[in-house]
Amino acid sequence: MKTSIRTLLARQILDSRGRPTVEVDAWLEDGAFGRASVPSGASTGAAEAHELRDGDPAHYAGLGVLKAVANVNGEIAQALGGIDALDQKRVDDQLLALDGTAQLARLGANAILGVSLAVCRAGAQASRLQLYQRIAQLCGVTAPTLPLPMTNILSGGLHAGRGMDVQDFLAVPLRAATVADAIHLLARVRHAATEVARERNLPTLLADEGGLSPGLESGRAALQMMVEAIGRAGLKPGVDIAIAIDVAASTLQAQDGRYRFAREGVERTAGETIAMLASWCDEFPVVSIEDGLGEEDWSGWADLTRALGERVQLVGDDLFATNALRLQRAIDSRIGNGVLVKANQNGTVSGTLAVIAQARSAGYATIVSARSGETEDAFMSDIAVGSAAGQIKIGSLRTSSTVAKYNQLLRIEEHSGAAYAGIQGMRGRHGAC
Ligand code: PGA
Ligand code: ZN
Cβ 43 under 6 angstroms from ligand 1: yes
All structural domains of the chain with their residue ranges? 5-128, 145-427
**Position 430 pLDDT exceeds 90:** no
Q: Per-residue pLDDT tens for 5-58?
A: 999 999 999 999 999 999 999 999 999 999 999 999 998 999 999 999 999 999
Cβ 288 under 6 angstroms from ligand 1: no
Spacing, Cα 305 to ligand 1 middle (Å): 21
Minimal-distance CA residue to ligand 1 atom 6: 371
Query: Best mutation site among 167, 209, 344, 380 for ligand 1, i.e. most ligand atoms within 8 A of its Cβ?
Result: 167
Nearest atom in ligand 1 to 159's CA: 4
What pLDDT score was predicted for residue 177?
97
CA 336 to chain CA centroid, nearest Å? 17
pTM across the whole model: 0.97
What's the per-residue H, E or C state across 124-191? HHHCCCCHHHHHHHHHCCCCCEECEEEEEEEECHHHCCCCCCCCEEEEEECCCCCHHHHHHHHHHHHH
Q: Per-residue pLDDT tens for 230-240?
A: 999 999 999 99
pLDDT band for position 428 (50/70/90)? very low
Ligand minimally distant from the alpha carbon of residue 46: 1
Q: How many CB atoms lie within 10 A of CB 254?
A: 10
Task: Give the lowest-confidence range in 62-76, 107-121, 415-429.
Answer: 415-429
What pLDDT score was predicted for residue 386?
98
Among candidate residues 75, 59, 60, the one with its CA nearest the CA of residue 107: 75
Cβ 408 under 6 angstroms from ligand 1: no
What pLDDT score was predicted for residue 427?
72
Nearest atom in ligand 1 to 340's CA: 9
Query: Best mutation site among 169, 208, 313, 342 for ligand 1, i.e. most ligand atoms within 8 A of its Cβ?
Result: 342
Cβ 371 under 6 angstroms from ligand 1: yes
Nearest atom in ligand 1 to 393's CA: 9
Nearest atom in ligand 1 to 369's CA: 9
Whether 66 and 54 have beta carbons less than 8 Å apart is answered as yes
Ligand minimally distant from the alpha carbon of residue 374: 1
What pLDDT score was predicted for residue 305?
98
Cβ 41 under 6 angstroms from ligand 1: yes
Is 209 a residue of the active site? yes
Q: Per-residue pLDDT tens for 297-320?
A: 999 999 999 999 999 999 999 999
What pLDDT score was predicted for residue 27?
98
Overall average pLDDT of the 338-348 stretch = 98
Nearest atom in ligand 1 to 167's CA: 8
Q: Which of 264, 342, 393, 405 is catalytic?
A: 342
Q: Per-residue pLDDT tens for 60-71?
A: 999 999 999 999
What pLDDT score was predicted for residue 429?
43
Spacing, Cα 290 to ligand 2 middle (Å): 6
Spacing, Cα 361 to ligand 2 middle (Å): 23
**Position 253 pLDDT exceeds 60:** yes
Name the residue with higher pLDDT: 50 or 162.
Answer: 50
Q: Which of 51, 209, 374, 413 is catalytic?
A: 209
Ligand minimally distant from the alpha carbon of residue 292: 2
Q: Per-residue pLDDT tens for 369-422?
A: 999 999 999 999 999 999 999 999 999 999 999 999 999 999 999 999 899 999
Spacing, Cα 370 to ligand 2 middle (Å): 10
Cα–Cα dist 294/301, whole Å: 8
Ligand minimally distant from the alpha carbon of residue 291: 2
Spacing, Cα 393 to ligand 2 middle (Å): 10
By residue count, the chain amounts to 433
Cβ 110 under 6 angstroms from ligand 1: no
End-to-end CA distance of the chain: 56
Helix or strand (DSSP H, E) at 10: strand 5-14
Spacing, Cα 371 to ligand 2 middle (Å): 9
Instruction: Kindly report the CATH class assigned to 5-128.
Output: alpha beta
- Identify the sign of the CA torsion 177, 179, 180, 184: positive
What pLDDT score was predicted for residue 196?
98
Cβ 42 under 6 angstroms from ligand 1: yes
* 3-class secondary structure, 428: coil
What pLDDT score was predicted for residue 106?
98
What are the CA-CA distances from residue 241 to residues 48, 236, 352 (Å)? 32, 6, 29
What's the per-residue H, E or C state across 207-234? CCCCCECCCCCCHHHHHHHHHHHHHHCC
Query: Taking the domain 145-427, which CATH number applies?
Result: 3.20.20.120
Spacing, Cα 375 to ligand 1 middle (Å): 14
Mean pLDDT of the chain: 97
